[in-house]
Chains A and B, each alone.
Chain A
Amino acid sequence: MGQALSPGVRVRVREDYPPGHIRTPVYIRGKEGMVTRALGTFPNPEVLALGRDGLPKKALYEIRFKQKELWPDYAGSEADSLDIDIYEHWLAKI
């Protein structure tokens, strides 16, 4: 397991495109956001999807993004945000 991330830390979502069952949507890859919650550790869903036990567990984090930074022509408010739960191996501290 990598170093633990604390709320407030800024992260970038890895921009890779592995085939297979991934729970990091394409729209969030390569984007930068902030950790808002550490959600605990869980078996890796990418491996659970293969019928295996997904161990060792991976840390899961709630990451918050500003909508205006996700979408070039975002039409809502400046303050609007998006929260999404991402596993540690998809995150790098900036």
Chain B
Amino acid sequence: MPEHANAEHHGHGHAEQAPHAPPQPDEKIHSYYQVLGLALKALLIEKGILTADEIRRTIEFRDSITPATGAKIVARAWTDPAFKARLIANGTEAIEEFGLDMGATHLVVVENTPLVHNMIVCTLCSCYPRNVLGLPPSWYKSREYRSRAVREPRAVLAEFGTHIPGETEVRVHDSTADMRYLVLPMRPAGTERMSEDELASLISRDCMIGVSLPQRP
């Protein structure tokens, strides 16, 4: 079943449908688009524009990039100050050290400090650092996140269970152009003896988007 990301589909009590409202043909519409997607794929392959193999390899490559990829970069930045400086100065170049590239986009790494907490959104569509974090979560693409993250970021953070002190500036980045933003969270206290791999396991996708904080050990 396709995901339903729109608030319009939720929140109406099933017991109280107005008798005069026509039945919504939404299921037929969604079913049509499922079929249309398969039809377009078949036509593109038949016409030799794409091959099934290319599609499969693209999916596999996309699946090979996960938040663990980003977590490794953050863990390196936490343990290697010179790398951290390179990452912040030019994220696109720094991640080449991990064999990663940003394609047509550019990586900007924004550092959380006790003074500033960063949070990333793309209000216009769903721009996301896919080449470092993989595919975005469904909530990042949702109407609710896109419209409210810029308007009431602290309320949205609270929905993720995250509370930033009033004295800390919450800075929202709306990715409107070719820059893709990655949050470099603050390293939690008590992690001084941890290896890079152990540190990486504390770093979730959500804290690199800026809606969560890293786990404490």
Residue ranges of A at the interface with B (Cβ–Cβ < 8 Å): 23-25, 27, 39, 42, 45, 60, 62, 64, 67, 70-71, 74-77, 79-87
Flag B60-81 by CB within 8 Å of A: 1 or 0 each: 0000000000000000000000
CA distance in complex: A70, B160 (Å):
24
Q: Are B177 and A45 in contact (CB under 8 A)?
A: yes
Q: Are A86 and B176 in contact (CB under 8 A)?
A: yes
Q: Are A80 and B153 in contact (CB under 8 A)?
A: yes
- Set A39, A45, A77, A83: member contacting B174, Cβ < 8 A: A83
Q: Are A84 and B174 in contact (CB under 8 A)?
A: yes
Instruction: State the interface size on chain B (CB cutoff 8 A).
Output: 23
Chain B interface SS verdict (over half): mixed
Q: Are A42 and B171 in contact (CB under 8 A)?
A: no
In angstroms, how far is the closest chain A Cβ from the Cβ of B172?
Answer: 5
Q: Are A76 and B170 in contact (CB under 8 A)?
A: yes
Residues on B with beta carbons closer than 8 Å to the beta carbon of A23:
124, 176-177
**B45 CB within 8 Å of chain A:** no
A/B pair count, beta carbons within 8 Å: 74
In angstroms, how far is the closest chain B Cβ from the Cβ of A59?
Answer: 11
Known contacts A75-B152, A77-B166: A82-B124 contact under CB 8 Å: no
CA distance in complex: A23, B174 (Å):
11
**B54 CB within 8 Å of chain A:** no
- Set A27, A39, A62: member contacting B150, Cβ < 8 A: A27
In angstroms, how far is the closest chain A Cβ from the Cβ of B177?
Answer: 4
CA distance in complex: A28, B175 (Å):
13
Q: Are A84 and B173 in contact (CB under 8 A)?
A: yes
